[in-house]
Amino acid sequence: MAAKLRAPGFYRAGWLMVAGVGFAALLTWLVRMSTGHATFHHFLSGEAVLTVSLLAVPLAFLVGIGGFDYWFYWATGRPTRPEDHSGHGAHTWKDYFRINTDHKVIGVQYLVNSFFFLLVGGLLAMLMRAQLAQPGSHFVSANTYNGLFSVHATILIFLFMVPVFAGFGNFVIPLMIGAPDMAFPRLNALSFWLLPVAGTIMMLSFLAPGGAFADGWTAYAPLSTDAPVGQMFFSIGVQFAGASSIMTALNFLVTIITMRAPGMSFFRLPLLVWANFATSLLVVIATPFIAASQFFVLLDRALGFNFFNAAKGGDVLMYQHIFWFYSHPAVYIMILPGFGIISEIIAVKSRKPIFGYRMMAFSLLAIVGLGFTVWAHHMFTSGMANWIRIPMSITTAIIAVPTGIKVFSWLATLWRGILHLDTPMLFALGFITTFTLGGISGIMLAMVPFDIHVSSTYFIVAHIHYVLFGGSLMTIFAGAYYWFPKMTGRMYDERLGKWHFWTTFVFMNLTFGPMHILGLEGMPRRVATYAAQFADLNMWISIASFALGLSTLLFIYNMVNSWRGGPRAEANPWRGMTLEWLVSSPPPVFNFDRVPTVVGGPYEYGVPGAVHGILAPTPAPVVAAGSGMAHAPS
């Protein structure tokens, strides 16, 4: 038992977390006591202990499961344990529940964790739609309702959209560039374990005195700086999720820059790798801003710093500028990797090279640059200086141009191809359709007079769900089906997959489409009840949303069932050219038993005799499947 309590794992995490609470109690007691009775009636304050615990306990957990062991050994001068690869790879299901340094295991951990939180966030949405089915409903209280939509958005943004793409990237990027693993495997492991921590904190906020954080995922001050203690679960939970993002982004950047296989020049990279490269730049530059904004809220609320207290010289609008300086680029963080997924699928499933490969890569970089110049379009009605609206409106309209280039290039890739209309392709085509709608409503919102009317109404709710559900989530489903054989070594059920696509596509439009109309009619968002004139459409939306929620069960059933007992998958079921299809499904522990050499572009479909990569040094052609990659040029 004593050995168990010392070894990295959940036992050690358990007692360290208890110690974390003790530390928080001791620290706050000491501080309050040294300040004296003049300031505090009681030296032991539950709220103070809770706030400090929110920082101390998760850190104790991460230390407990062994997230920092190697660094502690190194820092204390003890001999670091030689890397015997014992922490690498998964042999039983238990290997997914410990610190694991294999990028493929971490990728699966990321994905399963993210889909778990997709279900949680979706369930919260179902509760919201139950409340909104009728005006004046008392299904939940107004305070609970405000908590529901706040946690819904926070969970789905910080624990689903952002990390799910990191999951795909983790699994696929090293394989695609011909690397044995990520550049920093231990950092990679730590970055994953921050996520369940952040998610647990956010969900536990429902148990906090005064309820969950209830001022939206935007947490505008000064509402947030005066909120009940549940707000601290947001401010601190976001720090853990944000730290995870930054670690992974740094890891991706270093891996992509330094670990490409011989011959893999930047312009031979698959577009998914380009997309993650661009996204990681955004994450590294932007994420510290939301961390700062939430630390300011934390300091304002817990310690009375008055950053955002107008009565004490604070600046209310400053919060929004800092917040959106991250949170606008964040929408590109949540869509660029999806663009990458769609580029892979459209090329393979159309059996054609990507149309305009270089423009596809450059347009990603253009979005990264422009993405930092548009944040104040979220603030057209915020009371900021009027002139700022003009440049931000222009840049917002212009950022549609690189996005348009991508859509048109995908369409041109379809043209005269041989379209395999299976589940990943259906989601890709569905994505282009709904994302175009979301993009168009985005352009409309760039027009200031129109935005002044619909800002903060259901039109905004419709727009963001068209780009995040109709956009990002469609790419995520497409990617999940596309790489499922590679990740699990099994094939999914194609018929169920198609059912999943059609139910999702139809009910998604039936749910979010009518919200445009509600917004144009002037229904505010974030309301627990509404005027009677909006009743019919809201009932309709609620019914459609329940059907949409049910459609997700088809996906979960298909994934779980196929993983357990689906037919065995070949190494290259889609006849793809990128390197991940050169190795077995699932790939060997260190990915490539022989070093791959890249000799051509990643999408040379239809070019006679073209290959992307060969497994050197074997001289003979090594891959027999697929007309596009039958023979390496001698």
Residues 380-399 that bind another protein (CB under 8 A): 381-383, 386, 389-390, 393-394, 397-398
What span, in angstroms and rounded, lies between the C-alpha atoms of 7 and 9?
A: 6
Q: Which of residues 247-266 bind another protein (CB under 8 A)?
A: none
We find the least distance from the C-beta atom of residue 338 to another protein, in angstroms, to be 17
Cβ nearer to another protein, comparing 219 with 569: 219
Residues ≥6 apart with Cβ < 8 Å to 192: 106, 109, 110, 113, 244
What is the rounded distance in angstroms from the CA atom of residue 410 to the CA atom of residue 348? Answer: 12
Q: Which of residues 274-313 bind another protein (CB under 8 A)?
A: 310-311
Distance (Å, whole) CA 149 – CA 142: 11
Query: Considering the rule CB under 8 A, would residue 245 count as an interface residue with another protein?
Result: no
How far apart CA 538 and CA 519 sit, in angstroms, is 12
Q: Does 353 bind another protein (CB under 8 A)?
A: yes
* Interacting span for another protein (CB under 8 A) from 23-31, 82-90, 241-249, 440-448: 440-448
Among 235, 455, 509, 591, binds another protein (CB under 8 A): 455
CA atoms within 13 A on the CB side of 417: 24
Report helix, strand or coil for 354. Answer: coil
Residue of 20, 64, 216, 485 interacting with another protein (CB under 8 A): 216
Single residue of 416, 495, 568, 594 touching another protein by CB under 8 A: 416
What's the min distance (Å) between Cβ of 307 and another protein? 12
SS (H, E, C) 553-576: HHHHHHHHHHHHHCCECCCCCCCC
**Per CB under 8 A, which region of 109-117, 454-462, 506-514, 578-586 contacts another protein?**
454-462
CB 457 → another protein: shortest distance, Å?
A: 7
Our finding on whether 207 is near another protein (CB under 8 A) is no
To another protein, the closest distance from the beta carbon of 233 in angstroms equals 18
Tokens for 595, please give them: 């070093």
Query: Which residue lies nearer to another protein by CB, 266 or 408?
Result: 408
Strand partners, 615: 596
Mask 139-168, x = binds another protein (CB under 8 A)?
---xx--x----------------------
Candidates 10-18, 75-83, 258-266, 413-421 — which segment interacts with another protein by CB under 8 A? 413-421
- Interface residue with another protein, options 290, 605, 611, 615 (CB under 8 A): 605
Using CB under 8 A as the binding rule, the residues of this chain from 559 to 598 that contact another protein are: 575
> Would you say 196 or 356 has its CB closer to another protein?
356
Residue 118 or 202: the one with the smaller Cβ distance to another protein is 202
Which of 449, 565, 617, 633 touches another protein by CB under 8 A? 449
Number of residues in contact with another protein under rule CB under 8 A: 90
Are the C-beta atoms of residues 171 and 114 closer than 8 Å to each other?
no
Its sign, for the CA torsion 565, 570, 576, 582, is positive
456 binds another protein (CB under 8 A): yes
Q: Does 415 bind another protein (CB under 8 A)?
A: yes
Other CB atoms closer than 10 Å to residue 7's CB: what's the count?
11
DSSP string, 356-382: THHHHHHHHHHHHHHHTT-GGGGGTTT
Query: Which of the residues 354 through 373 are near another protein (CB under 8 A)?
Result: 355-359
| Subset of 78-117 contacting another protein (CB under 8 A) | none
When the beta carbons of 12 and 406 are compared against another protein, the nearer one is 406
391 preceded by a cis bond (ω within 30 of 0): no
- Residues 6+ positions from 579 with CB-CB distance below 8 Å: 175, 176, 177, 178, 261, 592, 596, 598, 612, 613
User: Considering just the CA atoms, what is the radius of gyration of the chain in Å?
Assistant: 25
Q: Which of 214, 246, 462, 611 binds another protein (CB under 8 A)?
A: 214
Task: Tell me whether residue 482 is exposed, middle or buried, using C-beta atoms within 10 angstroms of its C-beta: 0 to 12, 13 to 18, 19 or more.
Answer: buried
How many other CB atoms sit within 10 Å of the CB of residue 200?
17
- By beta-carbon proximity to another protein, the closer residue of 53 and 413 is 413
Binding to another protein (CB under 8 A): which residues in 504-533?
A: 517, 520-522, 524, 526-531
Strand partners, 613: 598
Q: Does 447 bind another protein (CB under 8 A)?
A: yes
Tokens in use for 87? 């922490």
